[in-house]
Amino acid sequence: MWWESYLKPAAREVIVATAAGNQVTVTLSDKTTFMRIPPGEKTRDKFVKISPTDFGLGDSIFARGRMSEDRKNLPALEFYVMSKGEIAQTAAFNFKFVLPSDGRQELPR
């Protein structure tokens, strides 16, 4: 999973930062398939087809294609997006409030 860090719409490129901290240039084309992954979904039949403009900075992305030998460029055949807003909503929804073990009903100040 990568995090989008810079868009170059005119060049149809997305510069992403990998989890390891490296930068990869993902090149988009007319042959690239764009899909949004709804929160919690893991199977492709639940993914939603989107247009090439339906993603933005901060979204988590996954691109499939053949990586260049120097591992700095990837022409994308498939481009998957998990929106930053949906990830935040899911994280907030999954937050659990746990009361202190001594039975107090409020958090310490």
State pLDDT tens for residues 48-93.
999 888 888 778 888 999 999 999 999 999 999 888 766 555 544 4
Cβ–Cβ under 8 Å, residues 76 and 68: no
Does 106 map to a domain?
no
Does 85 map to a domain?
yes
Does 107 map to a domain?
no
- pLDDT band at residue 107 under the 50/70/90 scheme: very low
Does 100 map to a domain?
no
* Residues 9-14: contacts with CB under 8 Å, at least 24 apart: 12/52, 14/61, 14/63
Does 105 map to a domain?
no
State pLDDT tens for residues 3-43.
556 677 677 888 888 778 888 999 999 999 999 998 888 88
Does 95 map to a domain?
no
φ and ψ at residue 69, rounded to 5 degrees:
-60, -35
Average pLDDT, the chain: 77
pTM of the predicted model as reported, rounded to 2 decimal places:
0.70
Report d(CA 79, CA 101) in Å as an integer: 46
Does 109 map to a domain?
no
CATH code (residue 7): 2.40.50
